[in-house]
Amino acid sequence: MESLDLSHNKLSGIIPYELVGLTSLSTFSVANNHLSGRIPFERQFSTFGTQSYDDNPDLCGIPLPRNCSTTNKLEPKHEDEKEETRIIDSPLFFYAFVTVPYAFGFWVFFGILIINKNWRHIYFRAVDKYIGSCFEMLSKY
């Protein structure tokens, strides 16, 4: 997503901290709403000016001139929560989540065929029959 304009929607509450994960945003506006709390000022959010947050009297923090008290923070409360989110969002976690079950299923299937001679013969007869029927079908054309 490159543009997010939520202005003039009567939104209330805080700006979700998770929005800093939208790293492709070049345009962002929540002007003319009823938002409150600290503005996330990380990653691309540091590039948005005050006009993105106009007419939200309870918003505070950079780039607005209003400072926030420490009770209005939007950041996760514990460092552990931040680290968990980073691990789950990493591409390495995704690839591990995909490849480990695939490899397990592959070796279970072929392991059974290697160990059990009867099943191996049944499997190869079925594959040969399927290939033969495919060749028959192609020879008709």
Indicate if the pLDDT at residue 82 is higher than 60: no
Q: Are 85 and 118 in a shared domain?
A: yes
Residue 34: name the closest of 66, 8, 16 by CA.
8
pLDDT tens-digit readout, 97-135? 889 999 999 999 989 888 988 988 999 999 999 999 999
Number of structural domains the chain divides into: 2
Q: Are residues 13 and 56 in the same domain?
A: yes
Same domain, 7 and 65: yes
- Burial of 40 from C-beta contacts in 10 A (0-12 / 13-18 / 19+): buried
To the nearest whole number, what is the mean pLDDT of the chain?
80
- Regarding beta strands 3-5 and 27-29, do their DSSP bridges make them parallel or antiparallel, or are they unpaired? parallel
Contact at 8 Å (CB) between 24 and 48? Answer: no
Rounded to 5°, angle at Cα 71 from 64 and 30: 35
Please tell me whether residues 63 and 95 are part of one structural domain: no
User: What is the per-residue pLDDT for 86?
Assistant: 61
CATH number assigned to the domain comprising residue 37: 3.80.10.10
Looking at residue 129, its pLDDT comes to 95
Question: Counting Cβ atoms within 10 Å, is residue 79 exposed (0-12), middle (13-18) or buried (19+)?
Answer: exposed
Q: Are residues 98 and 132 in the same domain?
A: yes
Question: 51 and 30 share a domain?
Answer: yes
Give pTM, 2 decimals.
0.44
For residue 131, what are the domain limits? 79-139
Per cent of the chain over pLDDT 90 is: 19
Residue that finishes a domain, picked among 43, 72, 101: 72
- Cα–Cα distances (Å) from 99 to 1, 88, 113, in that order, read 28, 15, 21
State pLDDT tens for residues 108-117. 998 988 898 8
Residue 71 pLDDT greater than 60, yes or no = no
- Whether residues 49 and 22 share a domain: the answer is yes
Specify the 3-state DSSP secondary structure of 42.
coil
DSSP state of 7: T
Of 49, 53, 20, nearest to 34 by C-alpha is 53
